[in-house]
Amino acid sequence: MVTTSFAPDGAFRPKQIYEQVSERIRADIRSGQFAPETRLPSERELAARFGVGRPAVREAIGALQNEGLVLTRRNSGTYVCADALQRLAAAPPDGSPTADPDFSPTSTLDVRMILEPAIARRAAMQGRRDPLAEHYLAQMDSIADVSDAGQRALWNDSDRLFHRQLAVMTGDALLVKIADEVAKTMDQPLWKRLKDDGIDDPGRIRLYVSEHRLIYEAIVAGDADAAAFYVEQHIMRVRRDIAPK
């Protein structure tokens, strides 16, 4: 009897919604429907056109920005870059980027909403201060100008590593490993693009620092309910800032 086995083909995978939207926009640029140096329809209009939510459109535009195909001008809109057709001509035959696509920031926030309140509760059971978490808090507190590339990078790293450090504070190695995977998504270009575009005001940064301190002090005080509550409120605010509905 002959048995045949089939190895999974890595080329086949479900595409995230934002990837599908970005493919449609690329196709419309190629066809001339969105010509170079013209303004794209608004996020709301594109969402209605493609039958998706605004977060998926925002993520698609962010991905296209990272590819150099479009640029967004504050208070003006998103425009097709002058050299977009040349860039597309140099792209792979299927038109998609060669690297693995970034995870949807909306998906990352969904996972964080499930995971991080539980992490905060577990960390609060330990009720101990953590020098490294306090170091990241101090770094975030030192940020004065997020328009500066160096300070913006420091902010992104400190924020990401602070949340990862909360898992370390639980003392649970498996939670740390899971938190490491989430932290990797917060280091991807698409997450950084949407975060940088959505959180660019110094007052907003101060608010975020305060929220991080509330989370940390609740954990240190051993108040699990407060720690989980503050984490949930913080993630909800991040969602409103980078992925508004």
Beta-carbon contacts of residue 22 (< 8 Å; ≥ 6 apart) = 60, 61, 63, 64
76 shares its domain with 124: no
What's the rounded Cα separation, in Å, for the pair 4 and 6?
7
pLDDT of residue 239: 94
Does 172 map to a domain?
yes
Residue 30: CATH number of its domain: 1.10.10.10
pLDDT of residue 47: 96
Does 212 map to a domain?
yes
Give me the helix-helix angle, 224-242 and 189-198, nearest 10°. Answer: 90
Task: Indicate the residue among 44, 65, 89 that finishes a domain.
Answer: 89
Exposure string of 132-165, with b = 16+ CB inside 10 Å and e = fewer, is ebeebbebbeebeebeeeebbebbbebbbbbbbb
The reported pTM is 0.88
83 shares its domain with 109: no
pLDDT of residue 197: 87
189 shares its domain with 74: no
Task: Indicate the residue among 89, 113, 143 that finishes a domain.
Answer: 89
126 shares its domain with 70: no
* Contact present, 166 and 133 (Cβ < 8 Å): yes
Give me the residue label for tokens 């998103």.
Answer: 78
CA dist list (Å): 237 to 66, 202, 241, 243: 24, 16, 6, 10
Number of domains in the chain: 2
Q: State both tokens at 32.
A: 């001339």
134 shares its domain with 233: yes
Give me the residue label for tokens 């007052």.
Answer: 203
137 shares its domain with 236: yes
142 shares its domain with 225: yes
137 shares its domain with 168: yes
pLDDT of residue 5: 46
pLDDT per 10-residue tile (average), the chain, 245 residues: 47 85 97 96 96 96 97 92 95 64 96 98 97 97 89 94 98 97 97 89 90 98 98 96 84
Task: Indicate the residue among 89, 121, 149 that finishes a domain.
Answer: 89
Domain of residue 156: give its range: 105-242
pLDDT of residue 200: 77
